[in-house]
Amino acid sequence: MARPVLHPRLAARRSMVRATTWWGKAWVRAVEEAAYAESELVAARVLARNGHVGQIATEPGRFVASVEDRRGLWTVEGAVPVLDPADLGVLVEAVAAESGRIAALLAGDLPFGLVEHADEAGVELLPYGGELGSSCTCDHWADPCVHALAVLQQLTWLVEADPFVLLQLRGLSRDDLLGRLHERTVEPTASDVPTDDEPDLEAAVEAALYAARLLQEAVPESADAE
């Protein structure tokens, strides 16, 4: 099982940073759907903007973080449904359908065509509001509470910067995806040999694995949780 990833704490920001990518905006819509009131969304954005959310740990189906406000320090545990094995297979096939998709993911981009491809096959990668569950040590009755909404807001920025955060929450880590793609190219059949008109997936996967190793050696963006 993949180990949790502990993401660096995000510093306070002078102004509210809005989602700029199409998938970030889709995540924000889900958060807004999950909220009970606009006032709670506003309060959550203030907490997130002012740096009151601690480091966020993510793993398949789960995220954990602490949030501090004037009343104390609270622990938020959130849940995102993990795709079942069949759906994960469909998602891997969608990535493999075009050699440029894995390179785009490694570069911090989530191709719309990839998500559309998976959606047409019955697999929804981006969650909707009702799928974002949470619990908090505070005494608020709502789910999600303001603290959970603040963590979800911070997750927006993490997901925008690295779509693999979203894939990991859905049950497919970067290493798992690269490993599955690599396995597809180990023993190709005659029908799998690319023609002049077909992308060479094996070359693309090897390039992606090499790029991933370089990224990890140069600037590790996150560290494993203890």
Per-residue pLDDT tens digits for 123-139: 999 999 999 999 999 98
Q: Does residue 44 contact residue 146 with C-beta atoms inside 8 Å?
A: yes
- Residue position matching structure tokens 């359908």: 97
* Segments of the chain assigned E as strands: 5-7, 56-59, 62-69, 72-79, 133-136, 223-224
Per-residue pLDDT at 196 exceeds 90:
no
38 vs 44: CA distance, rounded Å: 10
Say yes or no to pLDDT of 84 above 60. yes
Indicate the residue type of 219. Answer: V
The 10s digit of each residue's pLDDT in 14-26 is 666 678 999 999 9
Q: Can you give the pLDDT at residue 226?
A: 41
The count of C-alpha atoms lying within 13 angstroms of the C-alpha of 16, restricted to the half-sphere facing its C-beta, is 11
pLDDT in tens, 135-189: 999 988 888 999 999 999 999 999 999 999 999 999 999 999 999 998 887 655 5
Does residue 217 sit in helix, strand or coil?
helix
| Euclidean distance between CA atoms 145 and 76, whole angstroms | 9
β-bridge partners, 79:
62, 133
Mean pLDDT rounded to a whole number for the chain: 85
Cβ atoms of residues 2 and 168 within 8 Å? yes
Does the pLDDT value for residue 51 go beyond 60? yes
68 Cβ partners below 8 Å, 6+ apart?
52, 54, 74
Nearest in space to 82 (alpha carbons), one of 192, 177, 168: 168
